[in-house]
Structure 1
């Protein structure tokens, strides 16, 4: 595929921020922490990737996963969960 260009740094950072934002919208602490950790690990694993074809495929897959994450976070907001002991109290700093 001639002319394949890798996504720009700005596009990747924007995608990363969207993942973090949507991960933080989960009401359930365990899901929220899982998706935050998965996002960080996935982006960190691909930080040194240089091949434009691979980068475009990874970027395209990540955009598809972001769509799934957005839908799941909306569904998560429809349900309430009891707060866990490990969750920080809102409005209170330790």
Structure 2
């Protein structure tokens, strides 16, 4: 056994939820949708990965990227943007 401990399913799921939460905090629709889409596609792409070393490296990279995303979402909240036509109206169901 190699001694490399792969992250648990719970740890990966928690990390995914943190990415989604922070991406949703962007005030700008385009940034918010970009990071949501990127998060989903990245996690889907690696869902079948089983190599513990690769999983650990992916997990470390993702945690580092999450730190960047958190900082950028905080900065985004300091600015206001006009709502785009494509943004759904809050409080109205379609």
TM-score if structure 2 supplies the norm length? 0.98
Correspondence list, 1:49-88, <5 A? 49-88=49-88
Correspondence list, 1:1-80, <5 A? 2-80=2-80
Secondary structure class of the residue paired with 2:6: coil
**Higher mean displacement: 21-30 or 2-11:** 2-11
Q: RMSD in angstroms over aligned alpha carbons?
A: 1.0
Distance in 2, matches of 1:2 and 1:51, equals 11
> How many correspondences in the alignment?
94
Once the 2 structures are TM-superposed, how far is the Cα of residue 2 of structure 1 from its aligned partner?
Answer: 2.9
Unaligned stretches of 5+ in structure 2?
none
Distance in 2, matches of 1:52 and 1:5, equals 6
Once the 2 structures are TM-superposed, how far is the Cα of residue 80 of structure 1 from its aligned partner?
Answer: 0.2
Runs (4 or more) in structure 1 with deviation over 6 Å come to none
Once the 2 structures are TM-superposed, how far is the Cα of residue 5 of structure 1 from its aligned partner?
Answer: 1.2
